[in-house]
């Protein structure tokens, strides 16, 4: 046994990397169930949407780029799934150019999944609209508080907003139950100041793990109703949505964030194991010498 631990402690670097790669690939082929208890900030966003009456409207601003897709896209998709299954209508916009097409892709993918899995039609113009990109984020956020039509007279495809049935009775933040900014930048600061601060609209933030700590003071002050932070937060929200679907007897959606988080968890466990083996082997060899 002593010789085995010493041998394992001297494992080649290439072997360690190979084990890590294989371990991280396992969640993408085998369904693993690690316990992901939702943190209070994540649960707060879920509960807020869960308690909205049918027919409510939420606005989601897609303010992230390709470099943070593994963290941010699963948040958006999970929120859309949650909203659509509750018959909550969603307005999508982007205040960063990078987020424009990424947001549209997420909306369309979720709509296709609903059709494929449940034969439920998520109709553009009735259940959701995507208004696209608007430059000048501060002016855009303020303008949405006065009249959406002046900021976005047409949707992403160039269709007149007046022709979209969902938008008939929606003028400004007074007609929106919640704003969610999913961002890999500091744009949430502007939403806090100009949307929540000036117009009092409820605001939630989804962001990368690196930036999450910047927004906790606003959570504690009550300026935001909840916070989804990083891949872990995305996995927590996805887990809550899947739990809801399971309770309703529905098949589960793809678990993108959960699988990614499982891969990270396995990597962390393996690294801890390698550290333990290295230390045990070192002390046994030293003791034997």
Same domain, 207 and 287: no
* Same-domain pairing of 196 and 288: no
Residue span of the structural domain in which 9 resides:
1-31+259-289
Q: Is 10 found in the same domain as 51?
A: no
Whether 94 and 79 share a structural domain: yes
Contact predicate 44/226, CB 8 Å: yes
- We report the CATH number of the domain holding residue 139 as 3.40.50
Do both 55 and 165 map to the same domain? yes
Q: C-alpha distances in angstroms, 230 versus 9, 82, 206, 235? A: 33, 18, 8, 9
Q: Which helix (H) or strand (E) holds 61?
A: strand 57-63
141 and 237 part of one domain? yes
Q: Are 226 and 91 found together in one domain?
A: yes
Q: Quick one: 232 and 148 in the same domain?
A: yes
Bridge partners (DSSP) of residue 59 are 91, 179
- Indicate if 27 and 113 belong to the same structural domain: no
Whether residue 264 is found in the same domain as residue 123: no
Contact 122, 83 (CB under 8 A): no
Looking at 64-193, which runs of residues are DSSP E strands?
89-94, 128-133, 178-183
Total number of domains in the chain: 2
Same domain, 26 and 116: no
pTM of the predicted model as reported, rounded to 2 decimal places:
0.85
pLDDT per residue of the chain (289 residues) written in tens, 0 to 9: 667 666 767 778 888 888 888 888 877 777 777 777 889 999 999 999 999 999 999 999 999 999 999 899 999 999 999 999 999 999 999 999 999 999 999 999 999 999 988 889 999 999 999 999 999 999 999 999 999 999 999 999 999 999 999 999 999 999 999 999 999 999 999 999 999 999 999 999 999 999 999 999 999 999 999 999 999 999 999 889 988 877 776 766 667 777 777 777 788 888 888 888 778 877 777 776 5
Provide the pLDDT for residue 253. 61
Same domain, 201 and 284: no
């Amino acid at each position: 046994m002593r010789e085995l631990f010493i041998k394992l402690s001297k494992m080649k670097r290439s072997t360690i990397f190979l084990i890590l790669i294989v371990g991280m690939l396992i969640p993408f082929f085998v369904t693993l169930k690690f316990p992901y208890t939702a943190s209070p900030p994540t649960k707060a966003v879920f509960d807020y949407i869960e308690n909205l009456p049918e027919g409510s409207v939420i606005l989601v601003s897609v303010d992230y780029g390709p470099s943070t897709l593994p963290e941010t896209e699963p948040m958006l998709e999970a929120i859309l799934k949650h909203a659509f299954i509750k018959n909550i209508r969603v307005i999508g916009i982007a205040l960063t150019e990078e987020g424009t097409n990424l947001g549209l892709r997420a909306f369309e993918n979720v709509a296709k999944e609903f059709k494929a899995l449940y034969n439920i039609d998520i109709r553009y113009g009735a259940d959701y609209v995507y208004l696209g990109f608007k430059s000048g984020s501060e002016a855009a956020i303020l303008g949405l508080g006065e009249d959406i039509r002046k900021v976005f007279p047409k949707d992403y495809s160039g269709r007149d907003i007046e022709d979209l049935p969902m938008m008939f009775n929606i003028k400004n933040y007074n007609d929106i139950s919640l704003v969610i900014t999913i961002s890999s930048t500091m744009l949430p600061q502007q939403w806090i100041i100009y949307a929540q601060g000036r117009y009092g609209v409820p605001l939630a933030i989804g962001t990368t793990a690196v930036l999450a700590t910047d927004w906790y003071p606003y959570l504690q002050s009550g300026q935001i109703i909840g916070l989804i932070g990083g891949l872990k937060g995305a996995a927590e929200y996805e887990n809550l949505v899947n739990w809801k679907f399971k309770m309703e007897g529905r098949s589960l959606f793809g678990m993108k964030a959960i699988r990614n988080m499982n891969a990270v968890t396995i990597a962390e466990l393996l690294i801890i194991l390698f550290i333990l083996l290295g230390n045990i082997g070192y002390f046994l060899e030293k003791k034997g010498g």
